[in-house]
Structure 1
Amino acid sequence: MKLIIAIVQRKDANPLIDSLTEGGFKVTKIASTGGFLKSGNTTLLVGVEQQEVDNVISRIKEKCKGETKSVETEDSLAKSIKTYDSYSDKKEVKVGGATVFVIDVDKFKKV
């Protein structure tokens, strides 16, 4: 058995959950926050047999598309001395998609 942990953007979570449950997969949803952009994410836990891993990952790829987002960055020196007149610049970063972990499960028991 495998445990799939998928960290997705909050906006992608419900369509992905719908797709997974339509496929007969059971999903646990956990609200989470990303460290880089500090934006809302959702972490999904899906327990599956080995032969179902590729099906779940395909559904994740289908529902979780990445995009480019412009974010403000501060000059590291200005940030370190905490000036109010700090230099800021915009940087393009890729957001969205999904971060997926597939973990071996030694034992599973529903009680």
Structure 2
Amino acid sequence: MQEKVKSQLKINHMLIVVVQGQDADLAIDSLVDGGFTVTRLPSVGGFLGRKNATLMVGMPADQKDTAIEILNKNCRQRVTFLTVPMENSPLPMLAPTPVTIGGASIFSLEVEHYEEF
């Protein structure tokens, strides 16, 4: 019978982080280098329909600020342009409109129970 190995980490906190696709690899590599375990889920932004990555990062609660610092250094905002119809125009004309996207959206959750098997 194989012996069960328990995780040495006390996982009582989780960050759910949505980052741009182009920032995901660097964010994951930096978190892993910082000693965090990361699960990556593909996702798509609702407003622009662009590829994102949703990262789930479990950790002891006292590591939360360190993880957020790592994400802040590796996920940046960008300006992109959307073409939107001009208001009050007699002809159907489109105007480029700047939109700031990116960075990271971080949801911080307490974990009531964590188990590995």
TM-score range, shorter chain: 0.7 to 0.9
Q: Indicate whether 1:9 and 2:15 are aligned.
A: no
The residue type equivalent to 2:23 in the other structure is D
Q: Indicate whether 1:21 and 2:32 are aligned.
A: yes
* 1:30 aligned partner: 41
The residue type equivalent to 1:107 in the other structure is H
**1:60-99 alignment, distance < 5 Å:** 60-74=71-85, 86-99=92-105
**Percent of residue pairs identical:** 32
* 2:113 aligned partner: 107
Quote the Cα distance in structure 1 between the aligned partners of 2:85 and 2:16.
32
The residue type equivalent to 1:16 in the other structure is A
The residue type equivalent to 2:57 in the other structure is V
Quote the Cα distance in structure 1 between the aligned partners of 2:31 and 2:43.
19
* 1:39 aligned partner: 50
Quote the Cα distance in structure 2 between the aligned partners of 1:32 and 1:62.
22
TM-score (norm 1): 0.87
The residue type equivalent to 2:15 in the other structure is I
Structure 2: gaps of 5 or more residues: 1-11
Per-residue deviation, 1:75: 5.5
Taking only aligned residues, the RMSD between alpha carbons, in angstroms, comes to: 1.8
Structure 1: gaps of 5 or more residues: 77-84
- Higher share of residues assigned helix: 1
Per-residue deviation, 1:74: 3.2
